Amino acid sequence: MNHIHSEFDAHRAVWALWPSSLCNYHDEAVPLQKSFARFVAAVSMHTPVFVSVSENEYERARFIIPKHITMYKIDCDGVYADDLHVHFVYEDGASKVVTGADISCKAASVLNGFNNYHCLNFSEKKLLSHLDFETDGEGTFVVLQSNLNLCGFTLESLRNMFEKFGRVHRIMLIRDTDFPDIHVQSVTDLLRFVGPGIVVLNNVPHEEKNPFYKLLNHVFGMVSGERDSEGREYIVKTIPFGRYEGAGYATYRDRGFKYSVAGSYLNFMITNQSVVVPLIDPENDNQILINMQNSLGALGFDVNGVDAVDLYANGLDFKKLVMPVYR
């Protein structure tokens, strides 16, 4: 059956996009690039990783990236996964790439470079470039109200778009616009599917005075008691919400927000039964990893942590740095 891939589907490889020192990063990007190298090394334990890097950064990258990881030269710097606006779908018996309707020339050049090295199968269908969603791959989708508004969709028109790619069982709507003080960057900062009928959420804070209490309680209440397309009640796992300044509690006052969910421990990367978790708060990281291992290790996942403070401090997270390629 045709469907949009969920992240926990089997991966053939992962393309990782080198964070160039030519961009405006702290300390000439050295701490950031070392963190990137540790991240791709962790991913490569379970899945082949190919790093794309420009000609002028190649030698620098080759010195930092572990030698067992293959690197390829591309034409440009500073392009990341959210510039590519790529989704993978299972269509007519094969995994195909669906591109955004209006990706930039630089992003198109990077995709062409990927295609030259490892042939990608492109679909003729398109998704809106800025559409943000999480899916279980079996017809359940989760979207933010703010993203729905940005794309000019109603729930019905969104359903019609998703139905072009396969079955639509349910669209769950996180009403983040009901919390005007909080900016949510992506639905995956609040909710992740890690398997059929298995959802991981940020834990609801114990203190009602916590600015995120009502938002996270709304997400938890939305999922609790729901059932997947096979009629199974969701298994709901929770992990503590991070407090790293710049990730969980960054301010966006210039945009009308007091707080931001711009990154959290939910920004983990799933590849072939492996979960790579961003470590963002030294005081809580060990307990987070224990909780993740208890929750996901029992489901057969190998859980690894990678220091991501330098990534987050420069506005990057795991999702921006990789493009999975599905089997």
What band does 242 get if pLDDT is binned at 50, 70 and 90? low
Run of H or E including 323: strand 322-326
End-to-end CA distance of the chain: 15
Domains of the chain with CATH codes: 3-326 (3.75.10.10)
Which are the contacts of 128, defined by CB distance < 8 A and separation ≥ 6? 100, 101, 151, 161
Task: Give pLDDT, residue 243.
Answer: 56
pLDDT tens-digit series, residues 112-122:
888 888 888 88
Across residues 162-175, what is the average pLDDT?
A: 94
- Strands of the sheet with 170-174, listed across from one edge: 133-135, 140-144, 170-174
Joined together, the tokens standing for residue 129 give 């470039």
Q: Give the residue-averaged pLDDT of 76-97.
A: 85
Q: What is the mean pLDDT of residues 173-192?
A: 92
Q: Which of 64-78, 148-162, 248-262 has the lowest mean pLDDT?
A: 248-262
- Residue 72: phi and psi, rounded to 5, are -130, 145
pLDDT in tens, 265-310: 888 999 998 999 999 888 888 888 998 888 888 889 999 999 998 8
Q: Name the helix (H) or strand (E) containing 90.
A: strand 87-91
Q: In the prediction, which pLDDT does 34 show? A: 93
Is residue 206 very low, low, confident or very high in pLDDT (cuts 50, 70, 90)? confident
- DSSP three-state, residue 290: helix
pLDDT for 177 beyond 90: yes
Average pLDDT over residues 42-69: 93
Using CA atoms, how far apart are residues 184 and 216, in angstroms rounded to an integer? Answer: 11
Looking at mean pLDDT, say which of 95-104, 118-127, 131-140 comes out highest. Answer: 131-140
**Phi, psi torsion values for 215, nearest 5 degrees:** -65, -50
pLDDT at residue 71 is higher than 90? yes
Length of the chain: 327
Here the tokens at position 43 are 């991913």
Paired tokens of 192: 């992740």
Mean pLDDT of 160-171: 93
| 28's tokens | 């000439």
Residue with tokens 């992962």: 14
For residues 22 and 264, the model is more confident at 264
- Which of 154-158, 196-200, 205-209 has the lowest average pLDDT? 205-209
Of 136, 159, 166, give the one whose Cα is nearest residue 226.
136
Average pLDDT of the chain to the nearest whole number = 87
SS3 185: coil
* Spatial contact of 244 and 236, defined as CB atoms under 8 Å apart: no
pLDDT on residue 126: 85
Please tell me the least confidently modeled range out of 62-76, 143-157, 280-294.
Answer: 280-294
Residue 247's pLDDT is what? 39
Global pTM? 0.90
Mean pLDDT of 247-269: 67
58 close to 70: Cβ distance less than 8 angstroms:
no
Lowest average pLDDT, out of 78-87, 215-224, 317-326, goes to 78-87
Q: Which of 131, 158, 234, 231 is nearest to 192 (CA)?
A: 234
The secondary structure element, H or E, covering residue 309 is helix 309-313
Q: Kindly report which listed range (160-169, 172-181, 239-248, 308-317) carries the lowest average pLDDT score.
A: 239-248
Q: Which of 86, 92, 81, 50 lies closest to 68, judged by CA?
A: 50
Instruction: Look at residue 245 in the predicted model and tell me its pLDDT.
Output: 39
Residue 188 and residue 268 in contact, taking contact as beta carbons nearer than 8 Å: no
pLDDT confidence bin for 161, thresholds 50/70/90 = very high
Q: What is the pLDDT of residue 125?
A: 87
Say if residue 26's pLDDT is above 70.
yes
What per-residue confidence (pLDDT) applies to 244? 43
As given in the structure block, the two tokens for residue 110 are 């990077």
Burial class, 316, CB count within 10 angstroms (exposed 0-12 / middle 13-18 / buried 19+): buried
